[in-house]
Amino acid sequence: MTEGSITDVPGIRVGQAQRRGDGWLTGVTVVLPPPGTIGSVDVRGGGPGTHETDALDPTTLVPTVDAVVLAGGSAYGLAAAGGVQRWCEENGRGFPVPGGVVPIVPAAAIFDLGRGGDFTARPDAGMGYEAALDAAAGGGGAAVERGNAGAGTGAAIGAGTFKGGLGTSSVRLAGDNGEVVVGALAVVNAAGVPWHPGAVPPPSGEGLNTTLVVVATNAGLSVAEAKRTATAAHAGMARALNPVHTLADGDTVFTLATGQVTLAVNPQRPAAAMIELQSAAAEAVRLAILDGVAAAVGISTPAGNWPRYPEAGV
């Protein structure tokens, strides 16, 4: 497993809630950034389950993100975002409007329905609120529980053959204006398995698979730059897993930029710093995905058995 974490980015907090047993095998992960954090997203899978991702387009009104929610439960699990919005409203976090605030809380979900034995046991607003409370309680740089935790609780890989999970990582870059940190958190519920030379993709299996990623950095980015960083970060997914971005998955990468460090711009090579950051984002995603597979623990429920991936160390 990797040693770095998305919480190495100053101000980024992660909270989780999960249920196991009595038909349950699912959960929610919340990434809570500092107020004013810029955000965007790139959805590559052909069967996404998402909420409020259109609001993160560079052409829309609101540039900031108050929280990102990753959940089990497929489209049903997107209800968890409502609980996170409630926590944000209670704490005055959101886009100011007459009479209050409207929290911007995009979300994405993986398919884990029925893996605990009960198809109706899935995240709701209450579980989202619980995960938001957990995020708020964690201090800066707090450790992130990996493997069978949060939205990774019911995750599987290899077309539903092996246990998937939640992983995280970070990459550091030296800069003229301070150290740039790029972190990633991944929920690995993939049709594929970790890629290595000669690897053969598994059969299609149940065909309901998704890898969800949040990339965070302390660098200052515009919404358009955050969008382009999310796009570049998908390369890390393709380096870690085979296959990816299929018609039957919802592979999604969010990018959050807290703006604490200004990227140094070389007039002779004005794009160099951004290219370096985007390359680091792809590497952080690759490491987080492999970390999630390595940290996953095999599990048996009334619905089936999901052993640990035998080559989790690759």
Full pLDDT tens readout for the chain, 314 residues = 567 999 999 999 999 999 999 999 999 999 999 999 999 999 998 889 999 999 999 999 999 999 999 999 999 999 999 999 999 999 999 999 999 999 999 999 999 999 999 999 999 999 999 999 999 998 667 799 999 999 999 999 998 999 999 999 999 997 666 799 999 999 999 988 998 777 666 665 555 689 999 999 999 999 999 999 999 999 999 999 998 998 888 999 999 999 999 988 877 777 899 999 999 999 999 999 999 999 999 999 999 999 999 975 54
User: Is residue 302 situated within a structural domain?
Assistant: no
Predicted pLDDT of residue 305: 97
User: Is residue 176 situated within a structural domain?
Assistant: yes
Q: 219 forms bridges with which residues in the sheet?
A: 261
User: Is residue 308 situated within a structural domain?
Assistant: no
Residue with structure tokens 């150290």?
179
Angle subtended by helix axes 125-137 and 80-90, to nearest 10: 50
User: Is residue 268 situated within a structural domain?
Assistant: yes
Predicted pLDDT of residue 5: 97
Bond from prior residue into 123 cis (ω within 30 degrees of 0): no
pTM of the entire structure? 0.95
Among positive and negative, which fits the CA dihedral 259, 264, 270, 271? negative
Rounded distance between C-alpha atoms, residue 280 and residue 276, angstroms: 6
Percent of the chain as helix, strand, coil, to the nearest 5: 25, 30, 45
Rounded distance between C-alpha atoms, residue 166 and residue 53, angstroms: 21
Q: Is residue 30 within a helix (H) or strand (E), and if so which, with residue range?
A: strand 24-32
Write the single-letter amino acid at 102: V
* 273 SS3 class: helix
Q: 194 forms bridges with which residues in the sheet?
A: 241
- The torsion defined by the Cα of 233, 244, 168 and 53, in degrees rounded to 10, comes to 60
Among positive and negative, which fits the CA dihedral 298, 44, 282, 11? negative
User: Is residue 143 situated within a structural domain?
Assistant: no
The residue among 212, 192, 207 whose CA lies nearest residue 311 is 192
Q: Are 170 and 5 in contact (CB under 8 A)?
A: yes
Predicted pLDDT of residue 259: 96
Predicted pLDDT of residue 203: 64
The tally of domains found in the chain comes to 1
Burial level of 308, CB count in 10 A (0-12/13-18/19+)?
middle
User: Is residue 16 situated within a structural domain?
Assistant: yes
Six token digits for residue 155: 């995750």
Rounded distance between C-alpha atoms, residue 38 and residue 237, angstroms: 22
Predicted pLDDT of residue 197: 76
Q: What is the CATH number of the domain that holds 24?
A: 3.60.70.12
Count of helices and strands (H, E) across the chain: 5, 18
User: Is residue 305 situated within a structural domain?
Assistant: no
User: Is residue 26 situated within a structural domain?
Assistant: yes
According to DSSP, the β-strands at 100-102 and 107-109 are unpaired
> Domain range spanning residue 273?
6-138+148-297
